[in-house]
A and B are shown apart, each in its own frame.
Chain A
Amino acid sequence: MNSAAVEEAVPVNGAIPRDQSFEYVLEVVNVRKEFPGVLALDNVELKIRPGTVHALMGENGAGKSTLMKVIAGIYQPDSGEVKLRGETITLENPLKAQESGIAMIHQELLLMNQMTVAENIWIRREPKNTFGLIDHSEMHKMTEDLFDRLNIHLDPDAEISTLSVANRQMVEIAKAVSFNSDVLIMDEPTSAITETEVAHLFDIIRSLRKQGIGIVYITHKMNELFEIADEFSVFRDGKYIGTHASSDVTRDDIIQMMVGRSVDQMFPKEDVELGDVLLSVKNLTLEGVFQDVSFDVRAGEILGFAGLVGSGRSNVAEAIFGVTPADSGSVWIEGEEVHIKTPNDAIMQGMAFLTEDRKETGCFLSLDIQENIQSAVLHENFVNGGGFVDQVKLNEESEALCQKLRVKTPNMEEAIENLSGGNQQKVLIARWLLTHPRILILDEPTRGIDVGAKSEIHSLVTQLAHKGVAVIMISSELPEVLGMSDRVLVMHEGHVTGILDRSEADQVSVMNLAAQ
């Protein structure tokens, strides 16, 4: 294997001499990106200096991920420009971004699990021998050299599926470095790894920084920001808020920048006289996911669940509803212990659960609106002895509900996939209202839907509370939780870190408990 062949097979992408003729290795200027109904990026900017670690901060939905996808060539901006090494570039697709010297390590690792470490790193760039076939020993050697540079200790021939999450992360980083990228984007790289692994990761990041690479580091964790980042930029609601050196600010400053706005009057929360405790959860534990979760919800109460994505909020809801039953702990309804093993058990107890992911666990996309609404009541009043469904009664009640909820559709036989997100969500809410629940769990009830539908759903939830329904409302949108809830339960890494009363819950107190 001669070296010329290696160079031919392995184009050294982005290997432009790193002179300092430009102040910023990556510059985002006035980038705007709109999705139907949502302005995801409102003329934002971002400036990354070479040889620095630049943290991106912001609540969920602030626009960080969208911005990163623009930089990585996954989304095209509606307007504005991206400058790399001082020159404006157009990134038509992820490949172009990669070849230009921008590498992104996604939160959900995108490796081919059945292939080896080396194959994953060098795919599309495999070294060839004189016969034009892949030279495995050369590839092995190249991987070892790369790993030596990064101080990574992994077998290049190991299959990805045998590696831990942290080690897969290392492989992704090595792959990104192998492109000789100038900009490396890391999307919450520490969300699934242990402390010692984090230390190793930070060592690698520091050595990359020394090599002059600009590193964009997305994180929710304050302490990481102070430990590794040189500068940080804050985003909120798709807007750029500001950039500062991390040595200049305190933790409270950053939270203030992240949550900034005051809670407006969008949330029609009314005081409801609370009834007795309806649902009581005691010491609920699912090994490795959440521990020792306890709380009560009273009739007419809205209990908000706050916490970062991945803190275990949704898992607790799934455990209560029997989707993934807990390992230990107990659930009590009206003072009696109930044993819920399946969602059917939960429905029989008068529970309803609007799941987080509309497409994945909510809609029957190939079925029509009517069929989507009735799926949860086929056990009950609407089925007669022979298993025949009382379609007339069902149609009447479903249609009445759709009108009340103002579902915009030409008819009930319309396929649900032809509706907008907000209308789909209303149909799913109608599904659960048809069961006449006394305990309603809403997981991200207003995610990705427009403002009008959002406030309609909020007022509906308030009205249900008036009727004495106990509501659990999980939301990543802090203003929504604060605006709607009687009390706010905050989770962090599988633990309940606090339950705040409406009077003491504000953005800062909740973020303090959620981000620790």
Chain B
Amino acid sequence: MTTLNDTMNLEKESQGIKKKRKIPSEISILLVLIGISIMFEILGWIFVGQSFLMNMSRLQIIVLQVSVIGIIAIGVTMVIITGGIDLSSGSVVAMSAMIAATFAQSSSWPKVLFPTLTDLPFVVPLIVGLAVGALAGFVNGWLITKTKIPPFIATLGMMVSARGVARWYTDGSPVSGFTKEFAMLGNALDRWMPVVIFIVVAIIFHVVMRYTRFGKFTYAIGANPQAARVSGINIDRHLIKVYTIAGLLVGLAAMVAIARIKTAQAGMGLMYELDAIAAAVIGGVSLSGGRGRIAGTVIGALILGVMLSGFTFLRIDAYYQDIIKGAIIVVAVVIDQQRQNKRKKTT
């Protein structure tokens, strides 16, 4: 601001603010991921007699499983950064999947639900799925901003209702027999398609959160809603956008999931919301809002994926897997809490 130059005469004294980039906190999470991978590698050689990492099909399965949760977790990350929470993701996966699946069926399938809706181009079910997810997200955002109920309650309501819609829509029967085109969404590129979609979505939202006004508003609202308001930010409108986008990503994840496994069931997506929240929290996203990055969430999702695969690889009982997973989530939040306390003490 040149106008101040002549008035304050401070140029000579001001020493210039040094450029010094801090090491991003994602690096430490990445180190955890590498550490865990190496641990499984070593344990693999000891107990199973084979390599954990040098196995392409295992690695592919890990990233494929991570992709669906990862796409959801990116939306959830934005919601958590605003200071909110979204419990409805898992149920909305089922709702979007069930509704969109009925638009994706091939006429050659013997049990077609709606004979008039067969052999449609793949964009039709895709758009339907995205729209159902976005609508659910919009309703979440609308409830939170207009009725001022806590995000926990609004999305809890959506979680229960969306599951109900998923069951009611086909009376509980699964939907299969998709067109080849639609199935490509989950299997193209030598079955790497979901991973490609996940990476593209992650990059887009990484850029959005760091370099656009939308991203800056999201952080500002989570950091201090009152200050954000005084800065001229329309909080309600922005929150509705964030929840709608989070819902849209849930819809996308649902499409990828059913295209890959070639069937949609009302019971699918169970506990996905918690896995997505866990991925974000492990990735360093603060549940009190205003802090966290997409890159962290991606790594957090990978940590979850590697752990599950590793436990299975070591033939650890599924019950133990859940117990350990729960402990990891709690530990991640404890670490986050301690980081915050430390920050408070320094001021």
User: Which B residues, 71 to 98, have Cβ-Cβ distances below 8 Å to chain A?
Assistant: none
Complex CA distance for A200 and B232, rounded to whole angstroms? 45
Which B182-225 residues sit within 8 Å CB-CB of chain A? 211-214, 216-217, 219-220, 222-224
- Note all chain B residues with C-beta closer than 8 A to A401: 1, 4
- Residue A18 at the B interface, CB < 8 A? no
Contact with A along B64-76 (1 / 0, CB 8 A): 0000000000000
In the complex, are the beta carbons of A344 and B234 less than 8 A apart? yes
In whole angstroms, what is the CA distance A241 to B125 when docked? 80
Are B1 and A378 in contact, with the CB atoms below 8 A? no
**Chain A residues whose C-beta falls within 8 Å of the C-beta of B234 in the assembled complex:** 342, 344
Measured between beta carbons, the chain A residues less than 8 angstroms from B8 are 404, 459-460, 463
Within 8 A of A (CB), among B16-62: 16-22
Answer yes or no: B226 CB below 8 A from chain A CBs.
yes
Judge whether B227 and A378 touch: CB under 8 Å. no
Assuming the contacts A397-B1, A417-B343, asked whether A412 and B17 have C-beta atoms less than 8 A apart, the reply is yes
Q: Once the chains are docked, how many angstroms separate the CA of A409 from the CA of B17?
A: 7
Query: Is B309 on the interface with A (CB-CB < 8 A)?
Result: no
Interface residues of B, count at CB 8 A:
45
Asked whether A362 is an interface residue with its Cβ less than 8 Å from the other chain, the reply is yes
Asked if B147 is an interface residue, CB under 8 A from chain A, the answer is no
How big is the A interface, by class?
A: 35 or more
Task: Given A404-B1, A463-B8, decide whether A343 and B229 contact each other with a Cβ distance below 8 A.
Answer: yes
Q: Is A164 on the interface with B (CB-CB < 8 A)?
A: no
In the assembled complex, the CB of B168 is this many whole angstroms from the nearest CB of chain A, namely 39
Q: Measured between C-beta atoms, what is the minimum distance from A300 to chain B in Å? A: 14
From known contacts A347-B232, A375-B220, A460-B8, infer whether A415 and B343 are also in contact, taking CB-CB under 8 Å: yes
Contact (Cβ within 8 A) A375 B19: no
| Contact across chains for A363 and B224 when beta carbons are under 8 A apart | yes
Taking a contact as CB atoms closer than 8 A, the residue among A347, A367, A463 that contacts B4 in the complex is A463
Among candidates A364, A388, A436, residue contacting B220 with C-beta atoms closer than 8 Å: A364
Q: A residues within 8 A CB of B18?
A: 410-411
CA distance A343 to B226 in the complex (A): 11
Chain A residues, Cβ within 8 Å of B291: 366
Q: Is the CB of A365 within 8 A of B223?
A: yes
- Contact A411:B219 (CB < 8 A) given known A364-B290, A366-B286, A391-B211: no
B7 within 8 A of A: yes
B338: interface (CB < 8 Å): no
Taking a contact as CB atoms under 8 Å apart, the answer to whether B343 and A343 are in contact is no
- Are the CB atoms of A355 and B7 closer together than 8 Å? no
Is A418 in contact with B347, judged by CB distance below 8 angstroms?
yes
Chain A: CB-nearest residue to B16: A403
Indicate if A371 sits at the interface (CB-CB under 8 A): yes
- Nearest-CB distance from A26 to chain B (Å)? 34
Residue numbers in A under 8 Å from B229 (CB-CB) = 323, 342-343
**Residue ID in chain B nearest A355 by CB atoms:** B230
Could you say which residues of chain A place their CB within 8 Å of the CB of B116?
A: none
> B5: which A residues are within 8 A, CB to CB?
404
Q: Which residues of B contact A466 (CB under 8 A)?
A: 7
- Partner pick for A371 among B17, B216, B230, CB 8 A cutoff: B216
Within the assembled complex, what's the spacing in Å between the Cα atoms of A402 and B4? 11
Q: Is the CB of B347 within 8 A of A463?
A: no
| B213 & A389 in contact (Cβ 8 Å cutoff) | yes
Q: Decide yes or no whether A132 CB sits under 8 A from chain B.
A: no
Hey, which chain B residues are within 8 Å of A379, CB to CB? 213, 232
* A-to-B contact residues, CB < 8 Å: 321, 323, 342-344, 346-348, 353, 355, 360-367, 371, 374-376, 378-379, 383, 386-389, 391, 397, 399-404, 406-407, 409-413, 415, 417-418, 431, 433-434, 436, 459-460, 463, 466-467
List 18 other contacts, CB 8 Å, given A363-B227, A371-B220, A467-B7. A342-B229, A343-B230, A344-B234, A365-B224, A367-B219, A367-B220, A375-B216, A375-B228, A378-B216, A389-B216, A406-B10, A406-B13, A411-B17, A413-B20, A417-B344, A417-B347, A460-B8, A463-B7
Q: Can you list 26 A-B contacts (CB < 8 A)? A: A323-B229, A343-B229, A348-B232, A360-B224, A361-B226, A365-B224, A366-B286, A367-B220, A371-B216, A374-B216, A378-B213, A379-B213, A389-B216, A399-B17, A401-B4, A404-B8, A404-B14, A407-B17, A410-B18, A411-B18, A413-B22, A417-B344, A417-B347, A431-B231, A433-B1, A459-B8
